[in-house]
Amino acid sequence: MGKPTGFIEYDRKDAPKRPVEERIADYEEIEQLLAREDCEIQAARCMDCGIPYCHAFGCPLASRIPDFNDMIYRKQWRRALAMLESRNNFPEITGRICPAPCETACSLSINAKPVTIRELELALVERGWREGWIRPQPAKQKTGRSVVVIGSGPAGLAAAQQLVRAGHDVVVFEKDNRVGGLPRYGIPDFKLDKKILDRRLEQMRAEGVKFQTDVCVGEDVSLKYLRQRFDAILLAMGADEPRDLGVVGRGLENIHFAMEYLAQQNRINAGEDLRGVKRIDAGGKVVVVIGGGDTGSDCVGTARRQGAKEIYQFEILPKPPEKANPQTPWPLWPQILRTSSSQEEGCIRRWCVLTKRFTGVGVRVGQLHGCEVQWIQTGDRWEMKEIPGTEFSLNVDLVLLAMGFTHVVHRGLIEKLGLKLEPKGNLAVGPDDQTSDPGIFAAGDSVAGASLVVRAIAAGRKAAASIDCWLEGCRSSP
């Protein structure tokens, strides 16, 4: 411990954000970095709590948070970075888009504001890039073994980097024309500038990872070829099957899945050729986002930047409490009311709203018809009931469905492989991350369902260790 009384002496200080009126005019990142001196003071708030729940309970990567906080406080930034990178392949990503379950598990969260762990992590890794401390780490010795990773999201990339550093030859196949998966196409630029991704991908290329884009495995590349060419296969394709809304009028035009909308804007920002693709534009429109989670908020922020006339965000669940929730006590993730940076920019939020049908003029959506609901608990079960007299209609021009994802996409590769699935539709794997087909492993959201980026990175690292053990007889992985 560098400062045993730091948590008493210093208040929490969050990183600044660009003003709303400025940031809604572009797609540049919203959040800025804490100053170096502020970081060292904030790191001093990390208390000698005995059992660091931030590390042991909150962080799926088990990052050694108290250790790197102490090093930042002592101005040992380079040592702190080495400690951070020993557990996290992409702290520049988690430092931007992770909801920081480590902070809610911080002991200070019991009766005070937690340590600014996420913002310290981001400031630390960004200084590492500026100072040139982050460099390629190629393997000292090659194993002669080869692995193909299908999917270039956080799980696939983390696994690929771990495997290539262990000395294996690694090829990553990506169906899109750029590498990065959900962080590339699903996270808006105002939360994650894609130059941040490209910077890390260059490091991975220098370490020996080979990327092949615009490849649909099972069509462009045969399964027979993969089995003959590679010693192991890792499926890290995410959970891209969106949850749909089965109501009358769903087939009307201008009702789109959130990821279709978000990915298109990211492609436009990147200068990709979208000739022949119909533009989804919220400019001058009344927009309804169905779904109150992070993806829905990303749609709100994107629609605001496109110049939407009005933006509504509907959530079918009840409004959570604004402060402590006795149903989710520390160190659990608290189910409380949160306001995202996008919601700060302006939208009308409603809870307990059920969308019942859509109508329109011709083939285009024109109205959303819904009602309010109440949730009644019977034992361990919750039942939703419509509230009579709360029916309403709203004129709309664009509807974005952001109700989450169900499981990995089955059509295509998964169906051809014939792999065993869990009841919810996710890939079934054993303790060694191996699927029902020997030599084929799986990791990330394709196994766990849609989850946090930090969990995907952790799953990718674990799968890499399992593959390395399977290939090399259980020698230790990096």
Q: In this model, does residue 477 exceed pLDDT 70?
A: no
Rounded Cα distance between 112 and 82, Å, is: 29
Q: How many CB atoms lie within 10 A of CB 242?
A: 19
Q: Are residues 263 and 350 in the same domain?
A: yes
Answer for the pair 115, 103: CB distance below 8 angstroms, yes or no: yes
- Cβ-proximal residues to 224 (8 Å cutoff; 6+ apart), any chain: none
Domain assignment present for residue 26? The answer is: yes
**Banded model confidence at residue 475, pLDDT cuts 50, 70, 90:** low
Q: Are residues 97 and 188 in the same domain?
A: no
CA 69-73-75 angle, 5° bins: 115
The arithmetic mean of pLDDT across residues 62-70, rounded, is 96
> What pLDDT is attached to residue 1?
62
Element (H, E) at 147: strand 146-150
Q: In this model, does residue 442 exceed pLDDT 70?
A: yes
The CATH number covering residue 370 comes to 3.50.50.60
**Banded model confidence at residue 68, pLDDT cuts 50, 70, 90:** very high
Query: Residue 74: which of 47, 29, 43 has the closest Cα?
Result: 43
The CATH number covering residue 117 comes to 1.10.1060.10
**Banded model confidence at residue 2, pLDDT cuts 50, 70, 90:** low
More confident call, 102 vs 1:
102
Domain assignment present for residue 137? The answer is: no
pLDDT tens sequence across 165-185: 999 999 999 999 999 999 999
Q: Which two tokens stand for residue 47?
A: 């208390």
Q: In this model, does residue 478 exceed pLDDT 80?
A: no
Domain assignment present for residue 136? The answer is: no
Range of the domain at 30: 6-131
Rounded Cα distance between 200 and 203, Å, is: 5
Q: Are residues 37 and 107 in the same domain?
A: yes
pLDDT tens sequence across 306-364: 999 999 999 999 999 998 899 899 999 999 999 999 999 999 999 999 999 999 989 99
Core vs surface per residue 396-430: b (16+ CB within 10 A) or e: bbbbbbbbbbbbbbeeebbeebebebeeeebbebe
Domain assignment present for residue 398? The answer is: yes
The arithmetic mean of pLDDT across residues 26-35, rounded, is 98
Q: Which two tokens stand for residue 87?
A: 């557990």
Q: Are residues 270 and 282 in the same domain?
A: yes
Question: Of all residues in the chain, what percent carry a pLDDT higher than 90?
Answer: 94
Q: What burial class does residue 11 get, using C-beta atoms within 10 Å of its C-beta: 0-12 exposed, 13-18 middle, 19+ buried?
A: exposed
- Cβ-proximal residues to 71 (8 Å cutoff; 6+ apart), any chain: 77, 79, 80, 83
Domain assignment present for residue 52? The answer is: yes
Q: Are residues 365 and 465 in the same domain?
A: no
The arithmetic mean of pLDDT across residues 114-141, rounded, is 98
Answer for the pair 202, 211: CB distance below 8 angstroms, yes or no: no
How many domains does the chain divide into? 3
Q: Are residues 170 and 215 in the same domain?
A: yes
Pick the last residue of a domain from 131, 163, 184.
131
pLDDT tens sequence across 12-25: 999 999 999 999 99
Angle at which helix 65-73 crosses helix 77-85, to 10 degrees, equals: 170
More confident call, 282 vs 475:
282
Q: How many helices and strands, by DSSP H and E, does the chain display?
A: 19, 16
Q: Are residues 189 and 327 in the same domain?
A: no
